[in-house]
Each structure stands twice: as structure tokens, then as C-alpha cells.
Amino acid sequence: MDKHLIPRGLKRSPFGRFFLWILLWAAVFGLGLYAMYLCLYKGLNQTNMDNRYAFGLWIYLDLTVIALGAGAFFTGFLLYVLRRDELRAVINSAVVLGFICYSGAIVVLMVDVGQPLRAWFTFWHPNVHSMLTEVTFCLTCYLTVLAIEYTPILLKSRKLSQIPSFLVFEHELHKAMIVLAGVGTFLSFFHQGSLGGMFGVMRGRPFAFREAFGIWPSTFFLFVLSAAAVGPSFIIVSTWLISQISKKTLVKKEVYILLARISGILLLIYVFFKAIDTLVWINSTVPSTGFSAFEFYVRQEFGTWILFTEIVLLGLLPAWMLLNQKRRQSLAWIIAAAFLTCAGVVVNRFVTTIQTLALPTLPFDQFLTYVPSWQEVATFAAVIAYGVLIYSLSFRYMKLFPQERELAAPPR
Amino acid sequence: MDTKPGKSRYGMVIDIDRCNGCGACMVACAVENNVPPAETRATERTGITWLRVFKVDNGESFPENRAAFVPMPCQHCEHETPCVMVCPQNAIELDKQTGIVTQVPVRCLGCRYCMAACPYHVRYFNWWDPKWPQGMEKALNPEVAPRMRGVVEKCNFCHGRLQAARAKAAAAGERELKEGTYVPACVEVCPTSAITFGDLADENSEVAKLARDENSFRFLTRLETEPKVYYRSKQPFVRKFGESALERMKKEAANG
Amino acid sequence: MAKIIERRDLMKLAGGAAVGIVFTPAPWKFLDDSSIWTQNWPWIPKPLRGELITRFSVCAMCPAGCALRAQCIGKQPISLFGVPGHPLSQGTLCPLGFTGHHLAYHPSRATEPLRIEHSNDSINVIPISRDLAVAEIAQAIQSKGADECIAVIDSRPGRTVSLLYRQFLAGLAKGVYLCEPTGTCATFDTLQALSEKPIGPLGLDLENTRTLLSFGAPILDGWGTPGRIQSLRRNQSQPDAGKRLQVIQIETRQSRTALFADQWLPIKPGTEAALALGLANVIVREKLFDEAAIRRNAVDFDRSDSRSYLDLVGQFQPERVTEVTGISQDKIVSVAREAARHGPSIALGGGDPAGGPLGEAEEIAIAGLNLLLGNLGKSGGIVGRSEVPVAAEMRSAAAVSPSELAKIPDHSIRVLLMDAAESGNALPWTLIEKKLVSERAVVASLSPYLAGNARQAHFLIPAPAHLESLQEIPTPDGAVRSSFSLSAPLLAPPEGATDPIDFIRSLATAVGVPLAGGSAMDLLKGRASAIYENGRGEIFVFAENKISDIKEAGSAERFWDMLKAGGCWIDAKHEMESAPRFSLLGEPSQGFEKLSASAQGRLQASLPKEYPLVLMPFGWRFAVGNGQVSPVMSKLYQESGLRDMANQAFINPKTGSALGLVDGGQAVVATRQGSMPVKIQFDSGVMPGVFHVAVGPAPNKNEMAKKIDENILEICQAGNDLAWRVTPAQVRKV
């Protein structure tokens, strides 16, 4: 029914089936919209956050999706600046994913703050000392960059590419792509870092506090490195997932292997610096605040196992897996390693946000627990549904994977 | 912590041995600052108490167990004030003239970053719109604006009273505020006079003398936030709370 | 050649508009305006504007009667503070008093008479006219059976309205005037009862006391006048040993008083009488008392029938008492010696505001201790104060004497009136219910709030709320000099509110009992005149922080005006007449047996197997559910946990874990009287085997709600003397 919109040479599932798929995710999205409406209308008492758990599921979600969406900036950097042309195979998908991640994160942020109508105050009264000011500026600029990068993909869709002025616009835009990629990388570098910096500067939270280099705590750099490392892995995982769902081969294996290698190198560098940082933290930073690092891990829920998991099981192990030249010829091996890498970043962001707030600071405080309310979970689900919807529409009606057509053509 | 002439550093010394946990300070603070009564679903973790009195104990079992009460207002930190550093829109300011950390609720976006940053947990968020029983809003203090939901609020040493004291002094032709003309509501109503308030920059003031006393301590000094609220107690188990966790652990290990 | 507007044109227009609008001021102005709207939404209240004026009044919430200074905008008080320099309240209020001006707006406040219908455990309220309510109550009075009585519960005796109630009841056949079996004045009441002749009102000269033996009285947290007590705390840390006050708190629970006392004796539940007699044993044995004086004045100190006081205390040797009370022998001996040697010393009973009175035997033992310590009428001891003159027009009429709730027969009250004023102590409904003739009883409450026992009534004829009407403030509990002041109204009462004096006058008219003429104002003025005519004492004027002799007022009229504008009359010191003769054992026939039996403690040493724990309710004076507290008190309750909310149960962690309970979890308390859900909190300060359940308000909860809340006092077990302090109980996890 919508054959005229599907790019030439590509096969897509029947419209009816697609419609049902969209309907399902639209329902989830609808429920999430209702949850968001409740939070905006009735106030944040609809969540289970409280004065001690000022940040909850949503901030954790934001940090995680932004880290995963880093694949967009990093792939763009690798392709347009470092000229790794193999990555042309995944750049469109990466940009769409990035767009989804960032726009979703910003929408959740608007629900998370108490007075969204005052969001623009950060631009009018910025605080040069605050990492969050930096995050706000960079996120907004970067979203603009992503929107601009998304536009050509949109414009190259079948119907829109028929309009000559759009084609010209898109062509001119393409010339500027390297600049956009550079700017995007720069902005992304800063806000990935600032998100880490947000927690690293908090001298009131010895668990999160880190030594600074200049004005940036070590978590700034660690977050950038981990985002750069997880970017390619997330592209691997997402591409594989989509190819599984659509039952098509979308990219050549070499692309996976290249992404795996890049991810592995960066992950190894990250784990190295993370290990050093952790040792410095345990032996110097934490004692200087009068706490002992190990008292942060006395509770079973957040025992030292979580530290071990984050750095070794989900850091060192996937790094070794990704760098193992022989084994990474196997796609299954790569996918598994990429999953572990993504999981590692998910755990790292969790530890940074949730564990920080759970731990007591005052000597007569207690360890606190927090379970998100259904409105929070539904909003989270809405972001995922939103992502699936945008991606599904993009995948169906735009040329996200240049190699797909070639891989789909039957061998002569 | 250098004191420039003409600048004040308002602070407090709270005598824990005198505090009997009656709660008059908490209530007077709520009345003075138009803090609304709890919404029906509010709890200890979602209520708003600019000043909160905690009960701490010595960890012993019956009958050696002993408790004490610790009032915790905003500590008005002076060094790299955690909340001031992190607010993305400068809705918080450490006033250089008075040392008071002020909060601008109408500029607050409600991002709650300052709440995450504060190690003393003295910042409170309006999870609901403030609501008073019908008619009770007539009893609001006109010197303090009620807030709206979605913003953070905290103790500001009854800043409105400082303005009023200054206006009164100016009307009387005085340049400086005399000791005792400006006191926050909690200080005024404490029945045991457990809270001493004043200008720490004035070496001869009561509060400065008490702050220098050997039984005075502050919480979380190792975090180097330089809070301006001091605590006093002659009871060792209370003073222990002023030591860092590491020091306490070392002492316990040494004692076997 | 009209151009056809196509879809493409519309899209271009839309696109162009979207881009172009950004260059107009419209979106930026909207952005700016919207953030200003967020500051001024219509549901954010705006405080009143106007000039700030100071008015004076006196807090009438509890018997302490602290003077207050109100900051008002026009007629509206916006904050309350103490009156500096006031000799009685010493410049401060309590947290409840600071928020008294909110009570008029409390959600459970009634603004008109109501009929209350009960079904199961919910109530339904219907507005009713006052005349109809009065008519129905009058009808019930007139149709009562010969054996049935009409009762009034007055929780704050000594006022003009108290006398009016007593005169009203005197005009009926079988009128009974009841005060609560209240804690605060129990020690005084007992001394009165033990004395051969009336000794007049009593007070505690705490300013000169050196040792205070408090048997569970919340002396440092909700006793007497807060300002007075807090300055006494300074006496505790006096460097001069000659002036220092030592407070010894004898209490099972580690209350705030126990925490701040110089010594805390964690006594086993219900064993206060044994300890008091044990202390007496040491004092008598070691001859640390004025034996000659006691032999002279006590009728039953030493008799030949081996049932004298000497024989009684002889049974309570420290070796025996330590078994029962859990206090070591050394401690019993040292405390007795300190009390006897470091005098002046006072033994104070009374009990906890929600735990209720200690009990008859306990108070007699404590009174005996006071007499042994020889503090009656002496500096630093239990001193007499003068009777406050009564209005001339009220002197002649007959008035019934107070009765005790415990002493009147069960199922004898046909009509019960509950006065509006609160004592601040709890009175379990079950104790009252027992005295009502079951089905046909008519209960009317005059409380301004549909809260506590008022919810059990059939009629609510609400008095004006706090600070809405002129109230009489009699002498505060424990004061050493009699006083009188007026709580001037700061707010206007609603039309539907009825002053209790007007109510009782209407009722008296309806049943044909003549009462002294005059409105509430007239009667109070009359009393003020009587005080002025008496010519004694001083008046302290709040606004001027000045004391002057009463004669300087010049006239009764001016005296009245000074009181209304903010003033307090304080009588001169009163010398008690020569020491009366008294009985140390109480009742001549059964006193010895009753007191001997207390050797086992109230729980008779062992608990039944099904109820192995001891339930002890506790509360903070005036916040135990009958009156009301400001909704802002939620700061202390649900928003911080500083004060304990109703039905929170505190239990020792070992006891709790052994029962499988979870800290912070739910549980069910069961006694012989019933069961109730509670919330558990582990507390290392609690004695093993005991658990303390809080009785308290739930501030800002809408109490007009239909359901009658469960109150732990309903399942407490009361003895014959109506003490409900200790109850065998079980706690099960849910």
C-alpha cells in the first residue's frame, strides 16, 4: 500500500504487518504519554523520587541513552574526519539512533524538571561553574546538529527526493558535513564529559567525587572515553538487532569487525584509565574526605561485586574479546562482546547516579532504597517506543543502510 | 574564610546538650517562611522542613542507650558551596556581604541537582503545589513569598528578617546592625536558647566565641565545604558525629 | 484568473511562517511571560498585605496558659510569640502554642451544631439548629430514670464555667461533676484527699527544689508552663551545688524527660508504688526524716495493730523491691538518701499524657513519700496557694463537689456533657462508655473540633475555636502563686459557635434550673471585679513588661481593661496554714491491704502466656487526640518523625526480632480487649519485653472523614482505679 514510499530496490514487510507493529509500539507510547501528562499536570509527586533520591530512573536513563547515542557522534567523526569510509554503511543508522536518543533524553528531562516552562533560564542566567549549564548548552546545540544531520537522510527518501530544491539543499548540506561532524564531535565530547563531570564535581558525595584536571574531574574524561568505546558497540548491537528483526543482512561483516576493533581499542584504553582512577579514588581521594572506600560497599545490594562487574566482567573481558583477532571473525563473538560492552556502560551510569544517592553522607544517615513508580517506568517505555517508532519509519522509508541493496540482490 | 571589613559571616552554634527535641524551632520556621502543611501523602522523605531536628543515639542497647537531638538547618557553606557551584541557572547565591546562601525559587527550574550535591540534605523540593486548609492562607507571613510546586527551597537564615532589621536600622539612622537585632525565627523561639546566632566575622560576638570553644564541632569538615553552623556538646558520643567515618573506624580499631 | 491555492502553497506558507515567527518578538515574549505565569498561578495563595500590628492575648489551648504576643495584619494574626519578661510563661510558648492561630481553620473544625449518627465504625454528621439540640438534650435530662445521673466532664476545673456547671448540676437530681482522672494534678489531689481538712490549692516551688523524684511525669517535655520548665533546666546545670536541681526520672520508657534527667531509673512497668514504698523504707529505716513531726501529724504512722504505715514500708526492703522494679538495691538506697539529704525534695506523680494516671495506690505511696520528705508548705516543696476569688453573683448558689469517674457506678450516666477545654491528657472513650447507660445515653460535646472523644458524641455544639472568644485562664498547673488572666479573642467566631457558658445557660433554662445571671463576659468581669476588690497581688502588663501593684489600676473597670489588653494578675505568696493531720495509708479500712498488694506491681508479677508483652501507650501533652493541633505540626510528625505519629509501636530490637517483626513493617497488637494494627519501629532505648505505642494526632489529615480512627487506648486494660498504663499484650507480624 505504501510501496511508492519505500526506497527503490529494497524489500520491506507487508503494510499490514508493519501497521500492527507500529500500533503496538504506539500503544506503549500512548501509555507513556499519559504518564508524562500525569507528571506534568499533577506534579512530580507522581514519581517515587524524594528529597534524598532527587535523581531517579529518568536521570539514569538520560545518562545511559546519551552514552549509547554517542555512537552517532563518534561514527561521524570516524567517517568524515578520520575518513574510515567503511563506516558509510552505518552512518545513517547511527545518526537516526543518535537523534532518537538525544531527543528522547531531552523530552524526559522536560518532564523530570519541576518547572519545564523555565527551562530557557539556563540560557539566560548561565552558571559558568555548573556542569549542568554546560550539558544544557551542548545538548541543545548537539540536538540541532543531529537534526541537521538527519535532514539529508529524510530528504533522500523516495518522495521527498523528487523535489528538486530539496535535492539541491541536501547536496549543499553534504559539503558542510565534515564541519557538522567536527562540531558535533566537539559538542558531544563536552556533554558526554560534563554528564560525568556533573557527578565528579560533587564534593558533597564522596562516592562520586573525583580529583580534577584543571576544572574537569576524572569522570569527565572517563565518560567521554566510555561513550566513545560503547558507541561502536551499540552500533553493532543495534544493527544486528535490526537485521534480526527485519530478517535482512544490512551490512558486510567487515563493518562489524572494524567497529569491533575500534570499540575494543577504546574500551581497553578506558578500562586502563578507569582502573587507575579507581585505585587513586580508593587510596587517596576517598580517604581525604574522611570516608573509607569500602564502607561504600558494605550493603549486599551494592557490594564490591558491582565494582568488579563493572570494570572486569563488563570492561576488561569484552575489551579482550573485541581485540581477539581470531575470535572476532565470528559474528556471534562480536555481538556477545558488544552486548557486554553496552552492559558495562549501563552499569557504570547506574553506579554513578543511583548508588551515589543511596549512600549516606551524614554520620547518622541511612542507606536508602528507591523503586520507580509506574509513571516513571511508563515514561521510560515511551522513550523506547518513540525510538522504535521513529527508527521503524526511518528504516522503512529511508535508505538507512547503503549496503543493504547490494547485500539483498541475488547473486548472479 | 578571610573577613573583609564591612562584611558579615552569619552563622550559628547549636548546643546539642540543651536541645530537647521539642520541635518549636521547626514549627516556628514553617510559620515564618510560609512552608505549607504536609500533603496527605507526604512522608519524611517528601516533606518540607527547612530546619529538621534529627534524633541520634550512641548505638548502645538498653539501658545504656542514650539519645540526643540535632537540629539541621542549611549549613550555609562558605567554600565552593556545593549547591551554588552546580545550579545551572544561578538560582542560588552565596551572598558575599552576609555569608548567607540564598535561594531564588522563581528562577529555580526544579532540576534538583543542588539536592543531589548537598551533603547535609538540607534542601527540599516541592513535590506538590503548596496547599493550606481553607482560610489558613490568611495567616501567611507577607514578608515571605509562598513557593510553587517543582522548585527547591531551603533555610535562608530568615532573610526577610535581615531585610526588616536593616530597614529598621536605616530608619533609626544606624549604619550597622547591632548584635541581637537580627535573629531567625528558630533562634527566637527556642525555649532553651540552644541556638546562638550571629556574625562569625565579629570576633567578640557570642557566636564566634562559642564556635571557637573546644566542645564545638561541625559535620563533614573533611569535605571542606566550610559550613557556618557549629554544634556543641560535652557528650563524647555526640562529638563523635563530628569526626569523619575514617577517624571513628580508626578509633574503634584502636580500642579493640 | 484566480489562482487555485494548492496543498503545496499551504505547506510553503506554513513552513515560511514557522521560520519567520522566530524573527518576531511573539515567541520570545511568550517564553518570558510563561515563566512569569509559573510564579503567579491562581492557586498559589497570596499573603495578606497591610500594616503589622501587635496584639496580646493568652494561649488557652492547655492549662499552662502562656501569654502570647500576636503579630497581626489588621484583624488576622499571622504569627505568635511569647511575651518577654512574663513571670509565669517567661517569654516563650510551646510548638503547639506557636501555631494556635491556625486552629480556627483546621479541617476538623465545626462551625455549627451537628447531630452525629453512628453506624459500625463510621459517623455521619448532620447540621442541626442549636435550639433543637438543646431541646433534645433537655428532654433526655428530664426523662432520665431515678437511678440515672447527669454528668459533666470538665477537663479544666477552676474556671467560672466550671462553677456554673457545678451549680447547674446541683439544681438537678443526681448531677455529677467529673474532672478527668488527669495526670498533672494527681499528686496534689491525692494530698488533698489524705489531709484531714482542706488545704487549698497546691503548687510546686520547683525554683527552690534541689531533688525532684519524678515518677513518670513528663516534667521536661510537656508539663506545667514550658517557659518555667526550660529555665529550670538551667538550674540543672548550675555550677553552685547549693542551687542545682537534680531531676531523677523514674519511668519505663526513655522519654525526653528521662533523657535529660540527671538520673534515669528504668523501672519495670507498673511498679512505681513498690519503688515509692521502697524509697520510704530506706528513709524510715535510716531515720532520714523528721520522725517527731510525722508521729505528730500522721494518724496511721505507727499503730499497734500491725497495719500501720511503719508496718507497710517495713515490707518493702530494697532486696524485695529490686526484684519487682528491676532497679538495683544500691540505686534504691542512694536515691532515697539523696532525696532525704539533698532537700528540699519533691516526689511527683501524675503519669504520661496518653499513658494516663499512675493509679490510686501509686499516688498514695508518692504522697506518703512527700510527707516523709517533709516538703509540704515549705520552700522548695509542695506549697499552698490562695483560692482565686469568685464572682460575687456566683458565690451563694449551691454547687456539687467533684466526683471521680472511677467511683461512680457503671451504666449510670444518662446524659453526658463534655466541656470544650482540654487538659492535654488523654481519656479513653472505653472508660467513659462503661459509665453510660448503654442504649439511651445522650452524649453532647462542646469541643470546637470533631476529633477524639467528640466523635463518639451524639451532639456536637461547638464552642468557638482557640483565639476566637474571651476565655478565662486560671492558675497554671504547678504554679506557686495563684493567677488570673484573659485570653482575648483575636479572630471572629463563626455564627454557629456557642460559648459553653451560653450553652449551659440555655440548657438550664430548658430544664428549669436557675443559674447566676449574665453572659460569659459579664461573669468573667464579675470575677475580675472580685479579684480587684480583694486588693491583693500584682498585675503584669504584657505590652510594657512591667509589674505593678493591683491597686495602681485604680478601678475594677480599668483592671478589666488591662487584663483584656494583655495582662496577668498574680497573687501574693500564700502561707499555708499550720500543717494538717493526714493519713499515709489512704482509706482507713482497706488502705493497708491495697498498698501491700502493690508489692507485686500492677501486673501482679507474671503475665499470661497469650499476652507476654506489656503495652504502654504514651504521648505528648495536648497532642493526644482530643484537642487539635495545627496542620503545620506535620513538620514534627509525618514530615520528620521527630514526634511520634499515632499507632507507631516502639519495641526493643531483640524482642522484635524474636517475634519475627520487621523494623518499619506492619504488625497487629492484641490484648484481651481487642486488636489493632500498628507500625513497628525498633528502638534500642526500649526495655525488652515492653513496647510503647504512640497516641498522637495526624496533622493535616481531614478528620471530618467518616471513619472513626482506631486508637490504641481502646484496647488498653484499665484497673479499678481507671489507670490504663500497662496492659498485657501480644504483637504478631502481619
Across the range C717-728, mean pLDDT stands at 89
Q: How far apart are CA C150 and CA C157, in angstroms?
A: 18
C32 backbone φψ class: left, alpha, beta (φ>0; ψ -120 to 50): alpha
Supply the pLDDT for residue A236: 92
Between C49, C639, C699, which is nearest B48 by CB? C639
pLDDT of residue C540: 96
Quick one: closest CA in C to A118, which residue?
Answer: C35
Q: What was the pLDDT predicted at A143?
A: 81
Separation between Cα atoms, residue C211 and residue C196, nearest integer Å: 27
- Set of chain A residues whose Cβ sits within 8 Å of the Cβ of C38: 115, 117-118
- Phi/psi zone of residue C518: left (φ > 0), alpha (ψ -120 to 50 degrees), beta? left
Model pLDDT for residues B151-167, shown as the tens digit of each residue: 999 999 999 999 999 99
**B5 in a domain, yes or no?**
no
Q: Which residues 35-64 in chain B show a CB within 8 A of chain A?
A: 39, 41, 43, 45-47, 54, 56
> Which has the closest alpha carbon to A227: A311, A346, A393?
A346
Distance in angstroms (rounded) separating the CA atoms of residues A86 and A232: 13
| Sign of CA pseudo-dihedral A374, A380, A382, A384 | negative
Largest CA distance in chain A: 75
CA C178, C183, C187, C188 dihedral sign is negative
Quick check: bond before C344 cis, omega within 30? yes
One-letter amino acid of C330: D
State whether B38 and C106 contact (CB < 8 Å): no
Q: Rounded distance, CA C444 to CA A136, Å? A: 64
Q: Which chains touch B (3 or more CB pairs under 8 A)?
A: A, C
- Mean pLDDT, rounded, for C160-188: 89
On whether both C474 and C442 belong to a single domain, the answer is: yes
- Predicted confidence at residue C1, as pLDDT, reads 56
> What is residue C719's predicted lDDT score, i.e. its pLDDT?
83
Give CA–CA dist A121/B110, Å, rounded: 11
Render pLDDT for C426-467 as a digit per residue (tens, 0 to 9): 999 999 999 999 888 999 999 999 988 999 999 999 999 999
Which residue of chain C comes nearest to A117, CA vs CA?
Answer: C35
Is there a contact between A45 and B128 if contact means CB atoms under 8 Å apart? yes
Query: Does one domain contain both C140 and C96?
Result: no
Q: How far is CA C96 from the centre of its chain?
A: 12
- For residues C220 and C256, is the Cβ–Cβ distance under 8 A? yes
Give A-chain residues touching B118 at CB under 8 angstroms: 204
Q: Is the pLDDT higher at A219 or at C231? A: A219
CB-CB neighbors (< 8 A) of B131 in chain A: none
pLDDT digits (tens, 9 = 90+) for B18-30: 999 999 999 999 9
Confidence grade of residue A410 (pLDDT, cut at 50, 70, 90): low
Q: Could you tell me the three cell numbers for A307?
A: 565494582
**Domain annotation covers residue B46:** yes
Question: Does A118 contact C at CB distance below 8 Å?
Answer: yes
What is the residue-wise DSSP string for C192-254? HHHBSS----EEE-GGG-SEEEESS--TTSSSS-HHHHHHHHHHHT-SSTTT--EEEEE-SS-
C685 shares a domain with C650: yes
**Whether B88 and A133 lie within 8 Å, measured CB to CB:** yes
The predicted pLDDT at position C15 comes to 81
**Chains in contact with A, counting 3 or more C-beta pairs less than 8 Å apart as contact:** B, C
| Model pTM score | 0.92
Beta-carbon separation of B85 and A130 below 8 A:
yes
Q: CA torsion C437→C439→C440→C443, rounded to 10°?
A: 80
**A124 pLDDT higher than 50:** yes
- Among chain C residues, the shortest Cα distance to A50 is held by C639
How many contacts (CB atoms, under 8 Å) link A and B? Answer: 178
How many domains does one find in chain B? 1
DSSP state for residue C357 in the 8-state scheme = -
As a whole number of angstroms, the distance between CA C61 and CA C528 comes to 21
Do C246 and C361 lie in one domain? The reply is: yes
Structure confidence by residue, pLDDT tens digits, B83-99:
999 999 999 999 999 99
Rounded CA separation A342/A323 (Å): 16
Contacts of A139 (CB under 8 A, 6+ apart): A66, A102, A105, A106, A191
B203: domain CATH number is 3.30.70.20
Confidence at residue B1, expressed as pLDDT on a 0 to 100 scale: 36
Bridge partners of A356, per DSSP, are none
* A117 in contact with C, Cβ within 8 Å: yes
**Residues 215-234, chain B: which have Cβ within 8 Å of A?**
219-225
pLDDT on residue A49: 95
Number of domains in chain C: 5
Q: Are residues C393 and C304 in the same domain?
A: no
Contact list in A for residue B85 (CB cut-off 8 A) is 127, 129-130, 201
Report CB contact under 8 Å: A43, B43. no
* DSSP calls for C641-687: -SSPPTTEEEE-HHHHHHTT--TT-EEEEEETTEEEEEEEEE-TTSP
CATH of the domain at C512: 3.40.50.740
Say whether both C92 and C121 belong to one domain.
Answer: no
Q: Per residue in C412-443, is it b (16+ CB within 10 Å) or e — as a string?
A: bbbbbbbbbbbbbbbbbbbbbbbbbbeeebbb
B45 touching C (Cβ < 8 Å)? no
Q: Comparing C-alpha atoms, which of A61, A52, A65 is closest to residue A350? A: A61
CB-CB under 8 Å, A115 with C38: yes
| B74 falls within a domain | yes
- The answer on C373 and C424 residing in a single domain is no
pLDDT at C576: 81
- Claim to verify: residue C429 and residue C536 sit in the same structural domain: yes
C630 lies in a domain?
yes
Place of cell 570499540: A263
Give residues with Cβ within 8 angstroms of A25, minimum separation 6: A385, A388, A389, A392
Place of cell 512574663: C86
Give the chain C residue nearest B64 (alpha carbons).
C685
Q: What is the mean pLDDT of chain B?
A: 91
Mean pLDDT calculated for residue range C7-30 = 86
Residues of C with Cβ-Cβ distance to A118 under 8 angstroms: 35, 38
For C551-573, the pLDDT digits (tens) are: 999 999 999 999 999 999 999 98
Rounded to whole angstroms, how far apart are CA atoms A139 and A133? 10
Considering only CB atoms, A292 lies closest to which of B45, B80, B249, namely B249
- Is pLDDT at C520 greater than 90 in this prediction? no
Residue C2 lies in a domain: no
Q: Is B56 on the interface with C (CB under 8 A)?
A: no
Strand C114-119 relative to strand C76-82: parallel, antiparallel, unpaired? unpaired
Of C45, C92, C264, the CB nearest to B140: C45
CATH number of the domain within which C340 lies: 3.40.228.10
Residues C311, C339: contact at Cβ < 8 Å?
no
B 76-105 residues inside an 8 A Cβ radius of C? none
Fill in the amino acid letter for C16: G
Contacts of residue A402, Cβ cutoff 8 Å, sequence gap at least 6: A88, A89, A92
Same domain, C321 and C444: no
Chosen for mutation from C12, C28, C31 (greatest number of chain A CBs closer than 10 Å) is C31
Q: Which residues of A touch C31 (CB under 8 A)?
A: 120
The chain C residues in contact with chain A (CB within 8 A) are 31, 34-35, 37-38
* Closest by Cβ to A290, choosing from B84, B148, B244: B244
Report whether B123 contacts B83 (CB < 8 A): yes
Span of A14-23, A184-193, A217-226 with lowest mean pLDDT: A184-193
Of B30, B62, B130, Cβ closest to residue C686: B62
In C513-651, beta strands by DSSP E: 538-541, 546-549, 567-570, 613-618, 648-651
A68-111 pLDDT per residue, tens = 988 777 888 888 888 888 888 888 888 889 889 989 999 999 99
- The label of the residue with cell 494548492 reads C6
* CA–CA gap between residue C80 and residue C75 (Å, rounded): 14
Inside any domain, residue B217: yes
Provide the CATH number for the domain around residue C93. 2.20.25.90
Q: How far is B249 from chain C (nearest CA, A)?
A: 22
Q: C37 CA to chain A: closest CA distance, Å?
A: 9
Residues C621-638: what's their mean pLDDT?
89
Are both C410 and C525 inside the same structural domain? yes
Tens of pLDDT, residue by residue over C192-225, are 989 988 888 999 999 999 999 999 999 999 898 9
Query: Are residues C467 and C449 located together in one domain of the fold?
Result: yes
Count interface pairs A-C at CB distance under 8 A: 11
Segments forming the whole domain that contains residue C60: 53-105
Question: Residue A398 to residues A6, A77, A95, A394: CA-CA distances in angstroms?
Answer: 7, 22, 13, 5
| Predicted pLDDT at A173 | 78
Which range of residues forms the domain containing residue B128? 10-255
* B1 within domain boundaries: no
Q: How far is A105 from chain C (nearest CA, A)?
A: 22
Tell me: pLDDT of B16 over 80. yes
Q: Does the beta-carbon distance from B140 to C226 stay under 8 Å?
A: no
**Alpha-carbon torsion angle C718, C720, C726, C732, nearest 10:** -40
Q: Quick count: other Cβ atoms within 10 Å of Cβ C1? A: 2
Do C336 and C378 lie in a common domain?
yes
Residue C704 has pLDDT above 70, yes or no: no
CB contact under 8 A, A121 and C38: no
Helix (H) or strand (E) run with residue C297 in it: helix C291-297
Task: Record the cell numbers describing residue C430, joined without a space.
Answer: 472505653
pLDDT on residue A374: 95
Averaged pLDDT, C708-718: 85
φ and ψ at C127, to 5 degrees? -60, 145
Residue A125 vs residue A171, higher pLDDT: A125
